[in-house]
Amino acid sequence: MSAFDNASKFFHACESLKGWAGCREYVAPGATFKAQSEPLAGVTTVEAYTEWMAGIGKGPLPGCRYELHNSAWDEKTRTALFFGTFIGKHDGEGGPVPPTHKETRSHYVYALTMNAGGRIEKMIKIWNAGWALKELGWG
């Protein structure tokens, strides 16, 4: 299986809220995570990010989903890019305030750098968290 195939499978597993159990086979040990977004400031590993995503769907945003708009692969940098929209409505318990019943449609990009073995070694999420939080009535 190609590195891009693994990256694609990871993307769909993560966005389908499978958590670490559903994502680990596509990820190298110790894979790092970065995002310049306040809600993710303390998240530094891909494992922790997949669990954070799963928690969002089990808590404040039940039934959340995603739409994938585009994906690309750069062989030179061994990087996969995925551009999507996250759709979630704050109908569940959790989050900074009681359920607001407001919805966000938040654009984001994943940049997944793959190692020589075809597994994710580094993940960067590009996301305007402030926009999403404002739409949800959280900020």
For the chain, which domains are there? Answer: 3-135 (3.10.450.50)
- Cα Rg for the chain, rounded, in angstroms? 15
Over the stretch 39-64, which tens digit does the pLDDT of each residue have? 999 999 999 999 999 999 999 999 99
Question: What pTM does this model have?
Answer: 0.96
Say what the alpha-carbon torsion angle 91, 45, 10, 28 is, to the nearest 10 degrees. -160
DSSP-derived pairing of the beta strands 120-127 and 103-114:
antiparallel
pLDDT band at residue 80 using 50, 70 and 90 as cut-offs? very high
Per DSSP, what are the bridge partners of residue 109?
83, 126
| DSSP secondary structure string for all residues of 78-129 | TEEEEEEEEEEE--SS-SSSS----EEEEEEEEEEEE-TTSSEEEEEEEE-H
**pLDDT of amino acid 33:** 98
CA atoms within 13 A on the CB side of 41: 4
